[in-house]
DNA sequence: TCTGGGGTCCTAGGACCC
DNA sequence: TCTGGGGTCCTAGGACCC
């Protein structure tokens, strides 16, 4: 029996420091040790800052025009973003991490969770492993990373956050094997909003209830967290106490919605211009839709004026266009989106932004949906069995095993997979089967 | 003058049905 | 005809994340 901490449940979070800036530096060493920011679409906002820029107090998302003076003064270099490059670098990091664990979750473009349980044979301590990860990624991609270890994902994320604070941690922090005196001291000074999923609002509420440190949050009884703050915070408490509630998600589920939207560089007034933009956003959204083998059953299209121009007349609206027959047909999707746009468009406003949001369902689920629609479904238990009978007679025994029905939306277990189906007309079911 | 884009989950409240 | 409770479904909006 090994006593190595890695024989316990153990997660790691590996996160690339200042990811976009680090990617740019990997290809242009002149940027190293310089003040660098990467800007969003239209070069409007800062989406990444080098350490040097962070030290100047520049916050994430600061508009570039507000930085121009500071930039001149401190010779800040601003770069337009290059997402193709960042995606490629992200894949390279992924490849390297697979050598350290077969179980890796892509949490975001610059963060990976690793499940390390049972890997104790290879490493004497997590710290060794963490340093090894840092060195190899640095060597093979030039990217700097920090590594956090914990027995839940929330703790690993917190550890990663702590590891970034130089210099004593040297980029790696293991909360699981930290001496308890040190751990308690650390958690009692960490503010509660440093915890993953505690944002501005929630930290205010927690503070108002006297919970201002991570330690206080961890030590508040579950029942209290549940009543005062709901299920999410209750789960958070468990995670901080080392009870894992969040599993590693290695296979990324298909997106439930696909958004494609953009701010205009210049304000736009006319419907034809907006239509052109919407059609183009829809094309790229539909491409993603096909890529994940989904179809779309509703499209939301929205437009808005520029809320920062407070003297301008403001207008924002959206419309959801349902597609009774879910589809991935690009021409149909564009038609539906343009129809929605036409409904919400009003003349006389200067528009800043528009976009589409596609609700996605799995192609296979769509086939099942049509199967159920063929027979109808509903909330009349007297007819439930006959529907099951019909479907199983026609498609073979046990095609349909569980069938829970709601008024409009129902749920069916089909070959081990639960899928939604939509009620059309229950009365289509022949009355003869009701007996 | 110039203020990002893409996601998930939860909740409240209205509509509707029995 | 009037009234009420209980349930489901849908949507919008808020909060959070990177």
Q: Specify the 3-state DSSP secondary structure of A164.
A: coil
Q: Is there a single domain that holds both residue A139 and residue A34?
A: yes
Rounded (10°) angle between helices A19-27 and A83-97: 100
Q: Single out the residue of A302, A342, A295, A345 nearest to residue A320, CA to CA.
A: A302
- Indicate whether A222 belongs to any domain: no
Alpha-carbon span A361 to A4, nearest angstrom: 44
The torsion angles phi and psi of A362, rounded to 5 degrees, stand at -65, 140
Q: What DSSP designation does A76 have? A: -
Q: Is there a single domain that holds both residue A173 and residue A308?
A: no
- Indicate whether A331 belongs to any domain: yes
C1' of B12 to CA of A407 (Å): 21
Angle at A334 (CA atoms; ends A329, A274), nearest 5 degrees? 165
- Final residue of a structural domain among A159, A178, A197: A178
Q: Is there a single domain that holds both residue A5 and residue A148?
A: yes
Q: Single out the residue of A43, A41, A45, A72 nearest to residue A56, CA to CA.
A: A72
Tens-digit pLDDT string for chain A (435 aa): 445 666 788 999 999 999 999 999 999 999 999 999 999 989 999 999 999 999 999 999 999 999 999 999 999 999 999 999 999 999 999 999 999 999 999 999 999 999 999 887 889 899 999 999 999 999 999 999 999 999 999 999 999 999 998 788 999 999 999 999 999 999 999 999 999 999 999 999 999 999 999 999 999 998 888 888 888 898 899 999 999 888 899 988 889 899 999 999 999 999 999 999 999 999 999 999 999 999 988 888 999 999 888 888 888 888 888 777 788 999 999 998 998 898 889 899 999 999 999 988 888 766 655 555 444 443 333 344 455 555 556 555 555 544 444 433 444 444 444 444 433 333 333 222 222
C1' of B14 to CA of A422 (Å): 21
**CATH code where residue A305 lies:** 3.30.1490.100
Domains contained in chain A, number: 2
- Final residue of a structural domain among A178, A211, A240: A178
Q: Which nucleotides of strand C lie within 7 A of protein CB?
A: 7-18
Smallest CA–C1' separation from A350: which nucleotide? B1
DSSP assignment of A12-37 equals EEEEETTHHHHHHHHH-GGGTTS-EE
C1' of C8 to CA of A413 (Å): 19
Q: Which parts of A294-329 fold into alpha helices (H)?
A: none
Say what the pTM is. 0.83
Q: Is the minimum distance from the CB of A72 to strand C below 7 Å?
A: no
Q: Which nucleotides of strand B lie within 7 A of protein CB?
A: 1-11, 17
Q: Is there a single domain that holds both residue A155 and residue A264?
A: no
**CATH code where residue A132 lies:** 3.30.70.270
- Indicate whether A109 belongs to any domain: yes
CA A145 to chain centre: 20
Q: Is the minimum distance from the CB of A257 to strand C below 7 Å?
A: no
Residue A330's domain spans which residues?
258-405
> In the sheet that A316-327 helps form, which strands lie side by side, from edge to edge?
A257-268, A351-362, A294-305, A316-327
Alpha-carbon span A191 to A354, nearest angstrom: 38
Residues A72-102 as b or e (16 or more Cβ within 10 Å = b) = eeeebbbbebeeeebeebbeebeebbeebbe
Q: Is the minimum distance from the CB of A315 to strand C below 7 Å?
A: no
- Indicate whether A336 belongs to any domain: yes
- Indicate whether A214 belongs to any domain: no
Q: Is there a single domain that holds both residue A157 and residue A283?
A: no
- Final residue of a structural domain among A178, A205, A228: A178
Q: Which parts of A251-398 fold into alpha helices (H)?
A: 271-291, 330-344, 363-375, 381-395
């Amino acid at each position: 029996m090994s006593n190595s901490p890695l024989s316990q449940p153990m997660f790691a979070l590996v996160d690339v420091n200042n990811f976009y800036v680090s990617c740019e530096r990997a290809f242009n060493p002149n940027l190293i040790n310089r003040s660098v920011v990467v800007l969003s679409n239209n070069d409007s906002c800062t989406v990444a800052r080098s350490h040097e820029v962070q030290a100047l107090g520049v916050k994430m998302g600061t508009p570039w025009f507000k930085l121009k003076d500071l930039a001149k003064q401190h010779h800040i270099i601003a770069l337009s973003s290059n997402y193709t490059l960042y995606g490629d670098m992200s894949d390279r990091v992924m490849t390297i991490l697979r050598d350290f664990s077969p179980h890796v979750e892509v949490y975001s473009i610059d963060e990976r969770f690793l499940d390390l349980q049972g890997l104790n044979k290879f490493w004497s301590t997590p710290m060794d492993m963490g340093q090894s990860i840092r060195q190899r990624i640095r060597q093979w991609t030039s990217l700097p990373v920090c590594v956090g270890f914990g027995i839940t994902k929330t703790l690993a994320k917190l550890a990663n956050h702590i590891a970034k604070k130089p210099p004593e941690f040297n980029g790696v922090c293991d909360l699981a094997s930290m001496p308890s005196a040190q751990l308690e001291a650390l958690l009692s000074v960490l503010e509660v909003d440093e915890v993953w999923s505690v944002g501005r609002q929630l930290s205010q509420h927690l503070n108002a209830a006297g919970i201002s440190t991570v330690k206080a949050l961890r030590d508040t009884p579950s029942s209290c967290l549940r009543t005062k703050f709901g299920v999410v915070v209750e789960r958070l408490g468990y995670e901080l106490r080392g009870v894992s509630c969040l599993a590693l998600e290695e296979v990324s589920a298909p997106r439930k919605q696909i958004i494609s939207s953009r701010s205009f560089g210049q304000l736009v007034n006319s419907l034809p211009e907006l239509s052109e933009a919407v059609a183009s956003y829809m094309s790229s959204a539909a491409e993603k839709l096909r890529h994940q083998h989904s179809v779309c059953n509703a499209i939301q299209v929205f437009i808005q004026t520029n809320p920062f121009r407070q003297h301008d007349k403001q207008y924002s609206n959206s419309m959801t266009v349902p597609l009774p027959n879910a589809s991935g047909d690009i021409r149909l999707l564009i038609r539906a989106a343009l129809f929605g746009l036409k409904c919400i468009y009003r003349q006389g406003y200067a528009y800043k932004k528009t976009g589409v949001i596609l609700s996605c369902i799995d192609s296979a689920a769509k086939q099942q949906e049509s199967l159920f629609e063929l027979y109808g479904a509903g909330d009349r238990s007297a007819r439930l069995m006959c529907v099951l009978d019909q479907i199983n007679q026609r498609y073979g025994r046990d095609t349909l095993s569980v069938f829970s029905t709601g008024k409009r939306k129902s749920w069916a277990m089909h070959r081990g997979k639960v899928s939604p189906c939509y009620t059309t007309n229950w009365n289509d079911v022949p009355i003869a089967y009701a007996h």
